[in-house]
Amino acid sequence: MAFENLSAKLSAVFKRLEGRGALSEKDVREALREVRLAFLEADVNFKVVKDFINKITEKAVGEEVLKSLTPGQQVIKIVSDELTALLGSSQSKLTFSNKPPTVFMLAGLQGAGKTTACGKLSGLMKKQGKRPLLAACDVYRPAAVKQLQILGSQYGTPVFAGDNSSDPVEIAIKAIEYAADMNCDVVIIDTAGRLHIDEELMEELSKIKQAVKPQEILLTIDAMTGQDAVTVAEAFNEKLGIDGVIITKLDGDARGGAALSVRAATGKPIKFAGMGEKSDPETLEAFYPERMASRILGMGDVMSLIEKAQNVFDEDEAAKLEKKIRAQEFTFEDFLTQLKQVRKMGPLTDLIGMMPGMGKINLPEEGVSEKSMNHVEAIINSMTPEERRNPQILNGSRKKRVANGSGRNIQEVNRLLKQFDEMKRMMKNFTGGFGKKGMRNIKGLF
């Protein structure tokens, strides 16, 4: 889960602060020293951390804070505000040209996920009612054009690859002409990357920029590169002049140093975050600094969770489910349907990170994995329709059959049945969302 390690360390620091009635300047400085170490361990750039802590210290050791009724909460609020500012304060949206087609040019090193980001961005554009065209200007990497064409077919986006031309500048120019002829109002240019920054790469990108004058140049950064992301971002910004950043593979980096460093180092906003390898364009999420800061501090991100749910859950089905819950008729068949819909929302560990207070609930060391969800699904699928609707009939021999059929053991079947009963009892108390008690029950199912 993104920022998992940093979030855990910060939650521990803040828990100690909140547990004290009064704070001295020494208490605050010691806490901020731990915050500083937590950010450095998250692979955040040293200069960024130094400036960040200095700003917090300046505000947090004032007499007004230390003598307030809740000094611990005051300090946490200051950290939250400064972290939001570090990430960019407010969401930065893509801008569009008054005269179509609007051209977005994606740049970055090889392996950063640039081509995949191009495809997902085209999917998002289509959802917004745009008519995008993908331009294949990476003529060096083997199968780069083919990869873009496969992505284009997945999202229903046409791809312009040129007529066997090896000149990326010429392909970009012709792609825009083709877009105008085909009535496409957005062109997304996939450029070539390198294993490292070199003058030849920058010269080629500069020529494309001069030739097509993109509305925005978006730099694709791999979250796993940590502090190296700052060097890459600064070099691209200096040579090319970027307008925004796409952080990819953020869900796979428990530290998150790249996201916290790039914005501060370049002054350019993070516009999107890649949160999964699935082809669904929703895994390329708009970046909200305030929401991300809240997640890092263990306060959840309810708005993003709601938006994800609205994109996945059918309103009619949700209404039917609520009726069943109210009537206490929720069955394993209903649960299996909901489980499949939840899986469409993304990795369960990321969803849990969006829920307020969940950072303080200890998940199993291995986390809530796709594998554990598969086990639950296998057990339910091994039940007969009658057993799924009425699990009370599951006696010893039936449980043994279910265990054998799912490849699990009797203990796992019994645990699922027990947790399911607890969930049904808990559901009597609410129909609109998951509280902390509810999430403990859901956690137990996996």
* 0.75 exceeded by pTM: no
Q: What are phi and psi of 160, to 5 degrees?
A: -100, 120
Torsion angle (degrees, nearest 10) of CA 155, 347, 402, 415: -160
Q: Report pLDDT for 439.
A: 39
Q: How far apart are CA 307 and CA 312, in angstroms?
A: 9
Question: Ramachandran region of residue 251, left (φ > 0), alpha (ψ -120 to 50) or beta?
Answer: alpha
3-state SS class at 217 = strand
In degrees to the nearest 10, what's the CA dihedral of 81, 82, 83, 89?
70
DSSP string spanning 357-398?
A: TGGGS---TT-S-HHHHHHHHHHHHTS-HHHHH-GGG--HHH
pLDDT digits 0-9 by tens, 232-283: 899 999 989 999 999 988 876 556 677 788 888 888 999 998 876 666 667 7
CB 46 within 8 A of CB 40: yes
What element of type H or E holds 219?
strand 216-222
Q: Is residue 166 predicted with pLDDT exceeding 60?
A: yes
Domains and CATH numbers, the chain: 4-87 (1.20.120.140), 102-297 (3.40.50.300), 304-445 (1.10.260.30)
Q: What is the pLDDT of residues 212-230, one digit of tens each?
A: 999 999 999 988 887 788 8
Residues of the chain above pLDDT 90, percent: 37
What residue has token string 């890649």? 274
Instruction: Provide CB contacts within 8 A for 272, sequence distance 6+.
Output: 117, 121, 218, 246, 247, 284, 285, 286, 287
Is residue 257 within 8 A of residue 40, CB to CB? The reply is no
